[in-house]
Amino acid sequence: MPLPCPETPALVHTSFYKFTPLPQPQVAAAMLRELVAEQAAGGLAGSILVAAEGINGMLAGSPAAVERFEQALQREPAFTAMAFKHSACVTRPFGKVRVQVKKEIVPLGIEGVDAARATGIQVSPVDWGNLIKQPDVVLLDNRNSFEYRLGHFEGAIDPQVTNFRDFPDFVRTHAAAWKAGGQRVAMYCTGGIRCEKTTAWMLDLGLVAYQLEGGILNYFQQVKDPGLAWKGECFVFDNRVALNASLQETATTLEDVYQGEHDGPWRLQRALRLAAAVAG
């Protein structure tokens, strides 16, 4: 049962994804639009992406509406055993709801990656702290540099990318040295989806790759004292902007997020336009 947020009317944020073959993504999208529409009275809003490789969504609404949506979604054969991550909403995360069909639910920029078939080794949040302390483990932050700057796991490497599609170049540059040194690669991202797709590709490079199960948000949700290994805040892709290790919204603004980034002015203006569009 999702926990309500501090304000009234209560809202809860849910994020979810699953790599699963969807031969007819348009049909799946139509079904999802119906499920969301059924919870309109509960204020359900957000974004769901559907592709032949699966589903990726973020929604917010009343606790009852979120729970009914999640239960209905899991009754669909393709989406059983779906994992959901919940967090608080002082600010309303979304103003509208959109269900879109895309080529990919997360664009790595490499053709033929099948994350539904095989991915890296999933590591539970409770085991994560021990793994990343091992001397033969290279810890990578699989997010954009502005996300790393706001917060990251202690000892993590910032690949200094400005777009997820740039991450494979960093891996290619260092893969031979990692293998020669007998090093394992551990990586994390916000909710797990970027890592899941990246590790699926890294298997073809012969790398031993681990990923934090459910990403940073699941780590915050599952670990008793997440601040011991995590430093700072976690950027989220909605109007709340950033969460602390207790999954509470912080005072960080979009201006804070993009300040100092070489493409910061462009990113800030784009983010403000999207926020205004959502609110409208």
Which member of 89, 189, 195, 234 is catalytic? 189
Whose tokens are 């001397």? That residue is 135
Which residue in 195, 206, 212, 50 sits closest to 123, CA to CA?
Answer: 212
Per the DSSP assignment, residues forming a β-bridge with 210 are 121, 186
Distances (CA, A) of 220 to 85, 116, 185: 10, 25, 21
Distances (CA, A) of 60 to 51, 63, 85: 21, 9, 11
CA–CA separation, 209 and 205 (whole Å):
10
Per the DSSP assignment, residues forming a β-bridge with 54 are 19, 51
CA–CA separation, 88 and 207 (whole Å):
37
Token pair listed for 52: 């032949």
Verify whether residue 234 is a known catalytic residue: no
Residues in the chain: 280
CB atoms within 10 A of CB 9: 12
Pairing of strands 84-87, 230-232: unpaired
Which residues are CB-contacts of 110 (< 8 A; sequence separation ≥ 6)?
Answer: 168, 201
- The residues assigned a catalytic role are 189
